[in-house]
Structure 1
Amino acid sequence: MNAQTAAAPQRLSFRTKFLYGFGSISFGVHVYVLSLLLFFYNQVVGVPAGLVSLALAVTLVIDAVWDPILGQFSDRLRTPWGRRHPLMYASAIPVALTMLALWRPPAAFSVEQKAVWLFVFVLAARLVISLYEVPSQALAPELVPEYHQRTGLLGYRWIFFTLGGAVATMSGYFVFFRPTAQYPQGQLNPAAWGPLTITATIMMVGSIVISALGTHDRIKTLHQPAARQASFGAIFKEVLATLKNWNLGVALTASLIGGLSYGLYLGLQLYVDTFFWRLAASGVGILSLANLVSVLPGAWVAGAVSRRFGKKYACVGFFLLSLIFLQGPILLHMLGAFPDKGQPAYMPSLIAVRFIHGVLTNAAYIVVTSMIADITEDAQVKTGARSEGLLMAANSFIVKVTAGFAAVLPGVILAAVHFPARATAAVSPEAVRNLMWVYLPSTFVLSLASILTWLLYRIDQQTHERNLAMVAAAAAAAEAQGEGAPIVAVG
């Protein structure tokens, strides 16, 4: 496909949007299930929390460096199947092998050997899922250039991302983590984790293959820059020019700060549900179901509110409200102003606030992903290069680096409050309260700083449409001169 066609508005069929979004099931399962690794290796396998957190943090940082390299490679790849699909197809089998190994450390291994096993296979699992996720993310700006349609397409992606993670974890809470006499909280039962992770692996591989095949017919319509030879120095300058973008800087800064909070949240969420809210596996599953049900209204709200107020103010409002509904119930319960377990209003109240939080969070991330995709044309206007893979991977790099450092924090916090490993018996109320008094202010301050950073973002609908027009004009001029790639740079 020539360059100007890539910039032309187009409407995708429901089939294409559905199958494109379907592929994000794989990453949703990956994120949600890997968020259980600290709990699994600490509470089930018996590896100290600090050691698990360190392994998770280091592998996240290594994976973060891998993503921009992979993104740039994908942007420059030239094959009969385009720039993205060969990598997507190549990821399927490695994803299956690494996932199956990760959750099966040999029982005869020492604690240290199990920690090494975790490090090797969680690193491999992160690297191979990026082989699919990075090029798949980069497809979105190419498939839909239009400002609001892009939010709609990414709504499909977010719906299936959340669906994948929720279905995988709920299959654990409702099916595999059934309570037994020995393990009334089934998530502590070692035998339950094998079937769960096999199910997760099947979901991941199936969604990758189905999405890649389902979008294969779009290859001929995607942006295909002309093949060209360039020195390492020229490539490096092009990368720097792409990354030297105000709006990308805002996105990366917000992601850097927010990643610290998100890493804390992911690492401690199951601890909060299990030991603070004192929920059995079925109760945790019900809250996951509430989050799943919130995805569709979240996608609708994202589109409606961003059309009314613009993407920037929509995302800031969504994130602020979601923070209130995430932390408010915990604080109220600690102050005695929230229903206690055993009271009739306990679970209905938890379900209601988790549903509302889910609607707001889903809407916020859909809008933010669309805002980051809009940087593609903004950078292209300034550099003349279309680098979706690099731009999406740059944000992923920051998220993963900060989440990597943040992954150490849950283990540090758990050690500081003397939270026991393999806690089959009740944990002392003092340890739980100490955990919450560290968790709440830490995540609040970081989240608020990240949210306010988004106010510095400058691309609105008018700016985006102007960028599209400039890209299209440059593409037409390049084709009239018989050139394969447009140059748009304006300073």
Structure 2
Amino acid sequence: MSEAQARAPGMLTRIAYGIGGAAGGVKNNGFDYVLLLFYSQVLGLPGLWVGAAIWIALLVDAVSDPIVGYWSDNLRSKMGRRHPFLYAAMVPVAIAYFFVWNPPSGLEGTNLFFWLLTVTIIVRVGYTLFEVPSLSLAAELSQDYDARTSLMSFRYFFAWVGGLSVQIILFLFLLQPTENDVQGFFYLPGWHAYGLLGASIIFICIGITAAGTHHRIPHLQSPPPQRSLTLGKIFSEIWETLSNKSFRALFLASLFGFLATGISATLNQYINGFFWNFTSDQIGLLTFAIYISAIMALILAPLAGRIWGKKKAAIIIGLMAFTLAPAPVFARQFGLLPPNGTPELFYIILFVTVFDVALIIAYQMLAAAMITDIVEESELSTGRRSEGTFFAGITFVRKLAQGIGVVTASLILAVATLQPGIRPADASEEAVRSLGWGYAGTLLTVWMLMLLCISFYRISRADHERNLQALNARNGS
């Protein structure tokens, strides 16, 4: 291990690395929170069709994750293993994301379905070229236990800030409410401008991460020695790498966690618009307040990791977050909250959301940092650095689980009989109550399963230090 690898990266490098998260925040915010709303409620494509297109695109994209991960672990180039992928992703992702929100006028039915399917596949596969190698950099920029938590904290901070910013601009400035469209959901020029803004941010943020970490290339890990590779050998190495017990615990935890994310994100605007009957201004202000959550999490996650260690901190914070999140919905179902349309209700939801989202973001930061510490344990047993393979495994399961989450959310909407094109004011009380039960009950169950799985992760701070010492001794450092 070189001195540069042992030394924690400077603040500018951490910020540059973290800004790349904003590209994913913008993409994920659009796809997870408003894509179903835009294509189903606004453009009139049946919700199950939209869910099917999203899920098929996720399945196609998921196949690319292990390919890109293994490829970036073994790539030999003048720019190292990761950076060629970062630079290659910039243009295609940005262009395709623009066209997601700017479909040709007049498309409907089957033609609109295939347009949605095609552009989402291009965005997702193109973004994988950036996401997997850039996430892998966290384990290479530093081998320090706490520095890795800091890197992942910056990554998730900017991801949330980037996603929040475009969503706030969408609801407060781009969508124009009318008397018959209080939320402004049906104002098409606003959605078109949203696509241009998002595409521009994605292009710039990927470029900043690639250029801002470029100077570290000479100090990053080298690929394994050249060897004769067959398809069987490649699959054997991937399987050997992913057989790590701590990785299996995180893999299953991620499966349930991202399933919950897919459900929550897809139904978020339905809960705000249909369940709480918030206006577009209230939704924008509620979203704006989550900036506070992101700042709180940026402080909380590294602090909790230093005090308790990553695993214990993730479990403690996760238990607090995931019991608090569905509490307001359950309270409403039992008549324990003020009526819709009252200022008191909005302030209660605002207060709960700020603290709950801070805990959720902190949990995500810690869980992501836990992946980086598996790298050295795996290297001791396999002799290979496999950051890309590990992160590809997590992004692979995220896409599968979120796709299932989107379909599950679509089923919840179908059971609640919320038809495409219906406006919040026209939804029946029975439909809204069914939406609430499906949303809160499903999330609470899935989140608890996630925390159960993460309890089987076994790498502590002391284990990480022993792994580094063993590697240094074996390598003669």
- What's the TM-score once normalised by structure 2's chain length? 0.96
Opposite residue 72 of structure 1, the aligned amino acid is Y
1:47, distance to aligned residue in structure 2 (A): 0.2
User: Does the 8 Å contact 2:101/2:194 carry over to 1?
Assistant: no
Which residue is equivalent to 1:258? 257
Aligned to 1:135: 133
Deviation at 1:235, TM superposition (A): 2.8
- From 18, 28, 31, the equivalent of 1:31 is 28
1:26-425 → structure 2 map (5 Å cutoff): 26-35=23-32, 36-225=34-223, 227-232=225-230, 233-424=232-423, 425=425
CA offset at residue 7 of structure 1? 9.0
CA contact (8 A) 2:5 2:219 kept: no
Distance 2:55 2:268 in 1: 17
Compared CA separation, residues 347 and 330, structure 1 to 2 (3 A)? same
- Cα distance in 2 between the residues matched to 1:161 and 1:65: 24
Partner residue in 1 for 2:8:
11
Quote the offset at 1:181 in angstroms.
Answer: 3.6
Count how many residue pairs are aligned between Structure 1 and Structure 2. 474
Instruction: Please tell me whether the aligned partners of residues 259 and 402 of structure 1 are also in contact (alpha carbons under 8 angstroms).
Output: yes
Structure-1 separation of matches of 2:186 and 2:14: 39
**Superimposed CA distance per residue, residues 265-290 of structure 1 (whole angstroms, 9 cap, x where no aligned partner):** 11111111110011122211111112
1:7/1:61 CA distance change after superposition, 3 Å: farther
Contact 1:6 1:222 (C-alpha < 8 Å) held by counterparts: no
Task: Please tell me whether the aligned partners of residues 148 and 303 of structure 1 are also in contact (alpha carbons under 8 angstroms).
Answer: yes
1:412-469 deviation line (CA, Å, top 9, x unaligned): 2212221121123421111111111122211111110111111111000000001111
**What SS does structure 1 have at the residue aligned with 2:227?**
coil
Amino acid at match of 1:260: L
Q: What is the distance in 2 between the residues matched to 1:187 and 1:419?
A: 16
Matches of 1:201 and 1:8, distance apart in 2: 34
Instruction: Name the aligned partner's letter for residue 9 of structure 1.
Output: A
SS at match of 1:188: coil
SS at match of 2:417: coil
The structural deviation recorded for 1:8 is 4.7
Query: Distance in 1 between the 2:264 and 2:341 partners?
Result: 26
Q: TM-score, length-normalised on structure 1?
A: 0.94
Q: Is the 8 A contact 1:5 1:223 kept in 2?
A: no
- The farther-off stretch of 162-171 and 224-233 is 224-233
Give the deviation of 1:70 after TM superposition: 0.5
How many Å separate the matches in 2 of 1:220 and 1:173?
A: 44
Do the aligned residues in 1 keep the contact of 2:259 with 2:405 (CA within 8 Å)? Answer: yes
Q: Structure 1 residues 225 and 212, CA, compared in 2 at 3 Å: closer, same or farther?
A: same
What does the per-residue CA deviation read over 1:91-147, in whole Å, with 9 as the maximum and x for residues that have no partner? 111012111111222232231110111111111111111111111101000001111
Please tell me whether the aligned partners of residues 51 and 407 of structure 2 are also in contact (alpha carbons under 8 angstroms).
Answer: yes
Paired residue secondary structure (2:45): coil
Q: Counterparts of 1:337 and 1:396 in 2: how far apart (Å)?
A: 39
Amino acid in the other structure paired with 2:192: G
2:461 maps to 1:467: no
Match of 2:19 among 17, 22, 43: 22
Q: State the alpha-carbon separation in 1 of the partners of residues 52 and 419 from structure 2.
A: 18
The offset of 1:226, in angstroms, is 5.2
Cα distance between partner residues in 1 of 2:241 and 2:475: 18
Q: Which residue of 2 aligns with 1:450?
A: 450
In structure 2, list runs of 5 or more residues that go unmatched.
none
Task: Deviation per CA, 1:23-67: give whole Å up to 9, x if none.
Answer: 111001010111111110001100000110011111112211211
CA distance in 2, matches of 1:189, 1:344: 26
- Structure 2 residue identity aligned to 1:15: L
CA distance in 1, matches of 2:347, 2:153: 28
Equivalent-residue separation in structure 2 for 1:178 and 1:47 (angstroms)? 22
Asked whether the 8 Å contact 1:147–1:464 carries over to 2, the reply is: yes
Amino acid of the residue matched to residue 289 of structure 2?
A
Contact map agreement 1:22 1:160 (CA 8 A) in 2: yes
CA 336–89 in structure 1, closer or farther in 2 if over 3 Å, else same: same
Shift in Å, 1:180: 2.5
Contact 1:178 1:281 in 2 (8 A): no
Matched-pair contact (CA < 8 Å) for 2:323–2:444: no
**CA apart distance, 1:309:** 1.5
Name the stretch that deviates more: 18-27 or 96-105.
Answer: 96-105
Cα shift readout 1:206-241 (whole Å, capped 9, x = no counterpart): 101122111111111111135503221333322221
Helix, strand or coil at the partner of 2:433: helix
Q: Is the 8 A contact 2:18 2:152 kept in 1?
A: yes
> Given residue 25 of structure 1, which amino acid in structure 2 is its aligned partner?
A
16-25 or 412-421, which deviates more: 412-421
Deviations 1:270-314 (A, max 9, x none): 111110011122211111112222111112111112221221111
- How far, CA to CA, are the matches of 1:423 and 1:103 in structure 2? 21
CA contact (8 A) 2:19 2:209 kept: yes
Distance 1:138 1:226 in 2: 15
Q: Which amino acid aligns with 1:69?
A: I
Give the whole-Å Cα distance in 2 for the aligned partners of 1:6 and 1:410.
49
- Residues 260 and 447, structure 2, Cα contact 8 Å, conserved in 1: yes
1:426 maps to 426
Q: Identity rate of aligned residues, in percent? A: 32
Post-superposition shift, 1:182?
Answer: 4.4
Q: Who is 1:484 aligned against?
A: none
Q: Alignment RMSD, CA only?
A: 1.5
* Structure 1 unmatched ranges of 5 or more: 478-491
Q: Is the 8 A contact 1:26 1:204 kept in 2?
A: yes
Match in the other structure for 1:486: none
